[in-house]
Homo-oligomer: A and B are copies of this chain.
Amino acid sequence: MRLLEERIKKDGQVLGQDVLKVDNFLNHQVDPDLMAAMGEEFQRLFKDKKITKILTVESSGIAPAVFAGLSFHVPVVFARKHKSLTLQDNMYSATVYSYTKKVNNHISISKKFLNADDRVLVIDDFLANGQAVEGLLSIIEEAGAQLEGVGIIIEKTFQKGRELLDQRGIQVESLARIAAFEDGQVVFLDENK
């Protein structure tokens, strides 16, 4: 998505070897007009699927997910994060390892909001090692719901998340695909072609 790539070039900050900071339009300060455009793009990319529900993880997944939800006119459920694993009968839960913070987080979703009739689109801000998405997929499986696809804003193609999802035959659509960081600059996948 050209608009997003331009914004990353303009406002993204590359830190070290593999961190891209986009806190001025995506995950601390949010640009709602850009978010709405991305929501419409997700709808275009997955329009042939009969999506009934959108799933994400708090906090930075919420903004992109609710705008995707607006375009599809379906409910959005966001998993809550916890420090400790508190299993409850009325919750689906999963453990998610954070490579950035080197801790296990636990995520959960009320059983009321996901069931076997649901056709689910997972939305998240970043795809790196794929841990958060894997956690949501395990919850979808536990609920017996149907995963229809994964929509990502920024994918770091050089980390293993995409490969893990491809191996499982999942349709993954990323609005910006980063091939590498070179000299503090972002190189997108299509620029390498």
Which residues of A are in contact with B by a Cβ distance under 8 Å?
23-25, 28-33, 35-36, 58-59, 62-63, 66-67, 69-70, 73-78, 80, 109-110, 112-113
Contacts and interface: CB of A to CB of B under 8 A. Distances in A.
Tell me the number of copies of this protein: 2
Main secondary structure of the interface of A (DSSP, over half): mixed
Contacts of A67: 32, 66
12 contacts: A28-B109, A29-B75, A29-B77, A30-B66, A30-B78, A32-B70, A32-B74, A35-B66, A62-B62, A63-B63, A63-B66, A66-B67
Given A58-B58, A112-B24, A30 B76 contact: yes
A29 B80 CA distance: 11
B69 A32 contact: yes
Nearest to A53: B29
Given A28-B80, A62-B62, 13 more contacts: A24-B112, A24-B113, A28-B113, A30-B75, A30-B76, A30-B77, A32-B67, A32-B75, A35-B66, A59-B78, A62-B66, A63-B76, A66-B67
